[in-house]
A and B are shown apart, each in its own frame.
Chain A
């Protein structure tokens, strides 16, 4: 059981380049999330989705877009990367079942924007 898989694990971009981070979960979870982790800032929610075809903004959505075309996948896009987007990005998923509230995390993507 793979759980939550993120690709790629590492990426270096130049300012202005674009890229897409892929998150895939095999637990049939309804809810999916993208966070970024920065020193001293903890985890901050970028965007999230409560079901296929739906997305919503989190705490720090600017500069990012997301899509949830399939239930198992949640894509995070950077249209024009900036050095301020250098971070470690984590995807997470959760069941919608009452009593099963818990996030399962991927292993992260380390992104550097030069």
Chain B
């Protein structure tokens, strides 16, 4: 079965500092991995994905994420946080080798960037 763990309910970071939001996953095969962001009273917006190839993927708004197969992790990063990055972030996984089309999400991490 697929699963995603986001160990931190909330991450606080000062504006201008680097940020990391953690995600670990479990799939029986090889994963597709995703990050989505949700602003208040809105639906989820796609940030970036890992499908294959380079372990470091770049996405929208200056975010990037690193796929680490040995640690089964896909942490979201940004070199310099902005107050406007404050939102709820979700990691998601889809098992690409099992033939399933299910996207399974983590519980979310609330990012607060302090001015």
Chain A interfacial positions (CB closer than 8 Å to B): 4, 31, 33, 35, 40-45, 48, 50, 58-59, 90, 92, 94, 99, 101-108
A33 CB contacts on chain B under 8 angstroms: 103
Closest B residue by C-beta to A42: B107
- Does B56 count as interface, using CB distance less than 8 angstroms? no
Q: Mark B6-41 against chain A: 1 for CB-CB distance below 8 A, else 0.
A: 100100000000000000000000001010100000
Chain B interfacial positions (CB closer than 8 Å to A): 6, 9, 32, 34, 36, 42-46, 49, 51, 90, 92, 94, 101-108
Other A-B pairs beyond A43-B108, A45-B105, A48-B101, 11, CB < 8 Å: A31-B101, A33-B103, A41-B107, A42-B90, A42-B107, A43-B105, A102-B46, A105-B36, A105-B44, A106-B43, A108-B43
Contacts A99-B51, A101-B32, A101-B94; A45 near B104 (Cβ below 8 A) = yes
